[in-house]
Amino acid sequence: MKECWLQVALLAVPLLAVYLHLPPPQASPALRSWKSSGSFFTYNNLNIFYRDSSGALGSSDVVVLLHGFPTSSYDWSKIWEGLTQRFHRVIALDFLGFGFSDKPRPHGYSIFEQAAIVEGLLRHLGLRHRRINLVSHDYGDTVAQELLHRSLLPPLLCLSKFHFFPGWGQFLGPTLSPHRQNSGICGRRPNNDFSLSILQYINQRKKHRERWVGALMSTSVPLHLIYGPLDPVNPHPEFLQLYKKVLPTSTVSVLDDHISHYPQLEDPTGFLNAYLNFINSF
């Protein structure tokens, strides 16, 4: 048995070395189009990609979308047009280290810095003191919580696929399932140091649990959860029971049984309808 594992290890090492040094794949036409429709702004000499689309006439509402790990703002592509029919402006960014934004190495990536980047983008767009709606997913949920703690968000905060208590009451944050551990960062093959640096957000969730969960528990901002029951990270029904227990004032939309961790991609119509029903209830 030991000889078998040794052979596997001897084979895996050179294959991993080759994998990490291969150039990243070419972006698809859809991704190239997404990039060409966006812009960059500078935060502390770092280039941050974002999209800002003008939408519905007669509306002054603004929605900001925060993507998850390990993807990018392209996660919102399937609901983008639907949102522009309801909101005056639809805005999304690639967090530092993700998508088309810069990926400095080495770098101490933190949720606090990502929240500051969102604030910087809103200042750049002249929206720092505007009322905004926020939709967040996965990694973006924790950034949203930090923004909430800073009292940045006045009216409505929609938490999509909010990762809550995966250790069953120990801390806020997801457990890593195998398919997420092996994922790349928006088509880029990261090296181990880079991935581990980004992954420090999990430890940050543990360390700052009281700050970020407390922000949710004490806020007067309306909260809404859009949940896919097949999510392997937040299994049904335990996750939903805990969520309702800790945040009893939050409303919840449960999508079809086959919807999993990326409802905005798996069921864009159901996701959009759930979100707009929440928004239009005020």
CATH label of the domain that carries residue 108: 3.40.50.1820
Alpha-carbon span 242 to 246, nearest angstrom: 6
In a domain, residue 14? The reply is no
- Flag whether 7 is in a domain: no
Query: Is 263:160 a contact under the CB 8 Å cutoff?
Result: yes
With contact defined as beta carbons under 8 Å apart, do 224 and 159 qualify? yes
What pairing do the DSSP bridges indicate for beta strands 89-93 and 46-54? Answer: antiparallel
Name the pTM for this structure.
0.82
Condensed to tens digits (0 to 9), the pLDDT of residues 117-156 reads 999 999 999 998 888 999 999 999 999 999 999 875 655 6
Is residue 178 one of the residues assigned to a domain? no
Q: Are 243 and 251 in contact (CB under 8 A)?
A: no
* Any domain includes 10: no
Q: Is 87 exposed, middle or buried (0-12, 13-18, 19+ CB in 10 A)?
A: buried
Q: Is residue 137 part of a domain?
A: yes
Q: What total number of domains does the chain contain?
A: 1
pLDDT in tens, 41-97: 999 999 999 999 998 888 889 999 999 999 999 999 999 999 999 999 999 999 999
Q: Whole domain around residue 56: which residue ranges?
A: 37-163+187-280
Question: Does residue 201 sit within a domain?
Answer: yes
